[in-house]
Amino acid sequence: MLLYDSDSRERETDLVAASQHVTHDSVRRMRRDGGGLICTTVPSRAWQRLGIPFLADLFSEARQRHPLLGELVPDDIPYDAKSAFAITINHRKTFTGVTDRDRALTISHFAGMVREALEYRGPDEEVRRTFGKLFRAPGHVQLLNAAEGLLSTRNGHTEMATALVSFAGLVPTATICEMMGDDGRALPKAQASRYAREAGLVFLEGSQVRAFWESRTGTGPVPGRKRGSAGVVQNGK
């Protein structure tokens, strides 16, 4: 599936796959035909329960000991208040962690971990310990923490892709990768749409996801947002 956010946001199309079904072929397609960062989203109930921190928070908390991090404060992101970047991970059974097979192993097993975080009824500490038995950090797969409330809060690729996978009845984590053009910029929407047609993939725009979200959740537009123009508030990857 391909997902374009909106003309008023990043103006980027991401390749999107349900993390639970990611194989080394999906990773290859993403790095070859996408070319951006291959990132895996985490729904809020899972990152909260597992305690997966945002990198921006980690960096901010560490500024006493590492004053440079106080200087690099990301307070001027042109399209968002805060990036969704969380920590990076590798499955412990990977070798270097970066090959298509290694990244697919990390991503598909991470989907299992999300399922466990959402379903397991025991103490949080046990789920965290399981996570630590299976994964190490830092690694080669970038996690993205989705905003609580998903599209009610934020209109990033992170939230939209997570919502779509969730609506499909799958474990609510998506793996996404931005599509790059030949001229050094993001792939234009028309070219991304043509790629989707030729590859037999669905092409969706943020406004369509937004409309579907509103019909399914019974929520209206985010306050302050004009109807019909998806993604003008609180954005970021």
- Binding positions for its own copies, rule: CB under 8 A: 10, 12, 24-25, 27-28, 31-32, 35-37, 50-53, 55-56, 58-59, 61-62, 65-79, 83, 85, 87-90, 92, 95-96, 98-101, 104, 125, 128-129, 131-133, 135-140, 178, 180, 182, 184-186, 237
Cβ 103 to its own copies shortest distance, Å: 9
Cβ 78 to its own copies shortest distance, Å: 6
Active-site residue numbers? 14, 39, 79, 90, 140, 178
What DSSP designation does 166 have?
H
Structure-block tokens of residue 91: 């499955």
Q: Which is nearer to its own copies, 24 or 115 (CB)?
A: 24
Cβ 215 to its own copies shortest distance, Å: 29
Cβ 223 to its own copies shortest distance, Å: 26
Question: How far are the Cα atoms of 10, 140, 173 from residue 130, in angstroms, in the given order?
Answer: 36, 20, 18
Q: Which is nearer to its own copies, 221 or 237 (CB)?
A: 237
Q: Which is nearer to its own copies, 99 or 191 (CB)?
A: 99
Q: Are strands 203-205 and 2-4 parallel, antiparallel or unpaired?
A: parallel
Q: Which is nearer to its own copies, 45 or 101 (CB)?
A: 101
Reply yes or no: is the peptide bond before residue 74 cis, omega within 30 of 0: no
Cβ 72 to its own copies shortest distance, Å: 4
Distance CA 216, CA 162 (A): 14
Reply yes or no: is the peptide bond before residue 53 cis, omega within 30 of 0: no
Q: What is the total residue count of the chain? A: 237
Structure-block tokens of residue 40: 């895996």
Distance CA 14, CA 37 (A): 10
Q: Which residues contact 166 (CB under 8 A, 6 or more apart)?
A: 43, 172
Closest CA to 165 of 14, 12, 8: 14
Question: How far are the Cα atoms of 66, 67, 151 from residue 70, in angstroms, in the given order?
Answer: 8, 5, 30
